[in-house]
Amino acid sequence: MPLAQGIHYTLHSQKDALSRRPPLILIHGAGGSFLSWHPHQRRLEGETVYTLDLPGHASSEGESRQFVGEYAADVAGFMDDLAIESAVIVGHSMGSGIALTLALEYPHKVRALALLGGGAKLRVAPFILTLAGSPATFPEAVERINRACFGSHTSDELLGLSKKNMLNTRPSVLHNDLLACDRFDVITRLANIHVPALILCGTEDEMTPPRSSQYLKDNLPNAQLHFLEATGHMLMLEQPETVVKLLKQFLDEIPPLS
């Protein structure tokens, strides 16, 4: 089980991967793990891909954080440990906040951003914070969050698997993540991010609705936006092939490493 800075990760690197293409780092959302990403994304053809479990999550060491900036510092340390000079940071939900923070605080480490179900603010409903903060009501929090995360066409099998994975998360980890999301706000700083940004959002996303992604598109200087129809917050699991196609198209536009 590979660890760097206490962070568990999977590595996909094909022999024919172009050596001058920047690697990808996939960062999951609140209460998630590397399994939040579909295998097609974790094993993206022709690319080098690191998929992380954030601290305190799944197989990683340490404790979960209550601030997105702390997670960003963890990812920066992970990159230093593996001598990754710069990468395309791909973040989902809370992971998108981590990606944006990396671009602001560690700009030399970020070649480009891919923001899935993201936002410049990630407010959480107070009653969800309350439910997630108690072990007694944690299952209800998971049920409500899981239902809100998927679009109307999601299969019962996928809903059940997602719920099972989230229930395996320690209540304190999910609660800390939700606190970190609720405190996150980079609205006034987006103009300082000049790297290329791909923004993907499901039209049925209830967690970070389409207006959040539209705001990112309107305020990031070098961004493109794609809406995925009949898709919810977990777009990378609901529409894995579409996400892969759009991500590959975006990566082909990024200049190679010098």
118-173 pLDDT, tens digit per residue, is: 999 999 999 999 999 999 999 999 999 999 999 999 999 999 999 999 999 999 99
Tokens 């960062």 found at: 27
Domain covering 3-252 assigned CATH 3.20.20.70 in the classification = no
Structure tokens at 110: 């970020």
Query: Among candidates 192, 239, 258, which has minimal Cα distance to 19?
Result: 258
Q: Which of 142, 52, 47 is nearest to 92 (CA)?
A: 52
Q: Cβ-count burial of 226 within 10 angstroms (0-12 exposed, 13-18 middle, 19+ buried)?
A: middle
Query: How confident is the model at residue 242, as a pLDDT?
Result: 98
Closest CA to 131 of 139, 119, 121, 120: 139
Distance CA 33, CA 59 (A): 9
Domain boundaries, the chain: 3-252
**SS3 of 12, please?**
strand
- pLDDT of 17: 53
Q: Alpha-carbon distance 91 to 97, whole Å? A: 7
Q: What pLDDT score was predicted for residue 192?
A: 98
Residue 205 contacts residue 229 (beta carbons within 8 Å)? no
| The predicted structure's pLDDT at residue 257 | 81
Based on C-alpha coordinates, what's the Rg of the chain? Answer: 17
List the chain residues with pLDDT less than 70: 14-19
Identify which of 184, 188, 246 has the alpha carbon closest to the alpha carbon of residue 219: 188
Closest CA to 8 of 61, 76, 47: 61
The answer to pTM > 0.95 is yes
Structure-token match 């590979």, residue found: 2
pLDDT value for 16: 58
Q: How far apart are CA 227 and CA 215, in angstroms?
A: 13
